Structure 1
Amino acid sequence: MYELNGVHKRYRRGKDTVQALDGVDLVIEDGGRLVIQGPTGGGKSTLLQMLGGLDRPTEGSVVLDGIDLATLPEARLTRVRAEKIGFVFQSFNLIPTLTAQENVETALVPLRLKASERRERAAEALASVGLGERHGHVPGELSGGQQQRVAIARALVKRPAVLLADEPTGNLDESMRDEIMDLLEGLWEEHTLTFVMVTHDSALARRAPRLAVIRKGRVTIKEQTAGVG
């Protein structure tokens, strides 16, 4: 479970101070699904970075399963990210010279698994996203939707408790957008993940049971009845 209390994030931009997050309090239950929406510059990606331990708050606590990511030493924070949190980004972030199989295996390197176990788990992850037969292809030989599937497999191969997605369909057309969301929602249910997604797409936001609207660094939670579909 996530518990955020009094989270502020301020940046220096030249001589100015930017208040990206302004006293955010938020609870996300284990297995919950939350979408974050808001205007550009409102703090969406900053909040996701806090949840992922990719950035630290200026003030406040970001507690995941009893561990405060805000104060954790860097080495332990890196370990928590490697073991507990999977990331999916808009730009896929695949290594162009590596095959799909090799890209997925990179997520397992910090866990110090044997090479044989890395290969087996990566193959299983690719099969779970429908790309078992494309394991030997490099990203340039795959469509945008297929590349995002590889990125999802890479996020899930660690068997994380949390999946964080930042505009995961932003580079895809509408039909592929729906296909990727169906996949993500299916994996969320299958693996009982805590799933948090940033999106500008209101049609996708309506599919989630909870919506966090963030404006000028402040968060308002809306419970939704639409859910999946």
Structure 2
Amino acid sequence: MYELRGVTRRYTRGKETVHALDGIDLTIPDGDRLVIQGPTGGGKSTLLQMLGGLDRPSSGEVVLDGTDLAKLPEARLTRVRSESIGFVFQSFNLIPTLTAQENVETALVPLGVKARERREKAAEALASVGLGERLGHLPGEMSGGQQQRVAIARALVKEPKVLLADEPTGNLDESMRDEIMDVLIRMWKELGLTFVMVTHDSAIAKAASRLATIRKGRITVRENPGV
């Protein structure tokens, strides 16, 4: 479970102090599916970075399962990210010279998984997202939707507790968006993940069981009983 207490994030832009997050209090239970929406510059991606340990707050606590990520030494924080948190980004972030299988294997290298087991796990993860026949293809030989599936497999191959997605359908057309969301929701259900997603897409937001809206660094959360 995540518990955010009084989380602020300030940074300087020229002579101006920007409050990207301004006293965020938020609880995200285990197994939750939370969608975050809001205007550009409102703090959505900053919040996701806090949840993923990619940035540290100026003040406040970001507690995951009793551990304050904000206070961890960098080496331990890197270990938490490697073991417990999967990331999916809008831009896929695949290595263009590696095959789909090799890209997925990169998530297992920091965990010390041996080569044979890495290959087996990567193949299984790609099969789970419908790419069992594309193991040897390079990113440039695949569509945008297929590349995002590789990125999802890479995020999930290490069996994380949390999946964080930042605009994962932002570079895709409507049909591909629906396919990727189907994959993400299926994996959330099958694996019992805590799933937090940032999106500008109103169709995705309307289908969320819990929707957080961030404006000017402040957050409101509402339940959608119809979902």
1:50-75 CA-to-partner distances (Å, cap 9, x unmatched) read 00000000000000011100110000
Partner of residue 177, structure 1 = 177
Q: CA deviation at 1:207?
A: 1.4
Contact preservation (8 Å) 1:206, 1:226:
no
Alignment of 1:36-185 (within 5 A): 36-185=36-185
Structure 2 residue identity aligned to 1:105? E
SS in 1 for 2:70: coil
Separation in 2 of the partners of 1:148 and 1:88?
8
Contact preservation (8 Å) 1:104, 1:153:
yes
SS in 2 for 1:182: helix
Q: CA deviation at 1:210?
A: 0.4
Q: CA deviation at 1:226?
A: 3.4
Separation in 1 of the partners of 2:207 and 2:63?
26
Structure 2 residue identity aligned to 1:144? G
Structure 2 residue identity aligned to 1:167? E
Separation in 2 of the partners of 1:206 and 1:142?
30
1:128-179 CA-to-partner distances (Å, cap 9, x unmatched) read 0000110000000000000000000000001000000000000000011001
Structure 1 residue identity aligned to 2:17? T
Separation in 1 of the partners of 2:122 and 2:35?
28
Separation in 1 of the partners of 2:43 and 2:170?
17
Unmatched 5+ residue regions in structure 2? none
Separation in 1 of the partners of 2:141 and 2:113?
28
Structure 2 residue identity aligned to 1:202? S
Partner of residue 195, structure 2 = 195
* 1:226–1:178 CA distance, 2 compared to 1 (3 A): farther
SS in 1 for 2:12: strand
TM-score by length of structure 1 reads 0.98
Partner of residue 7, structure 1 = 7
Contact preservation (8 Å) 1:208, 1:226:
no
Q: CA deviation at 1:225?
A: 2.1
SS in 2 for 1:107: coil
Separation in 2 of the partners of 1:2 and 1:203?
26
Separation in 2 of the partners of 1:116 and 1:214?
44
Separation in 1 of the partners of 2:212 and 2:32?
13
Where has structure 1 moved over 6 Å in runs of 4 or more?
none
Amino-acid identity (%): 80
Separation in 2 of the partners of 1:200 and 1:11?
24
Unmatched 5+ residue regions in structure 1? none
1:4-45 CA-to-partner distances (Å, cap 9, x unmatched) read 000000011122111000000000000000000000000000
Structure 1 residue identity aligned to 2:214? I
Separation in 2 of the partners of 1:18 and 1:109?
37
SS in 2 for 1:134: coil
Q: How many residues align?
A: 227
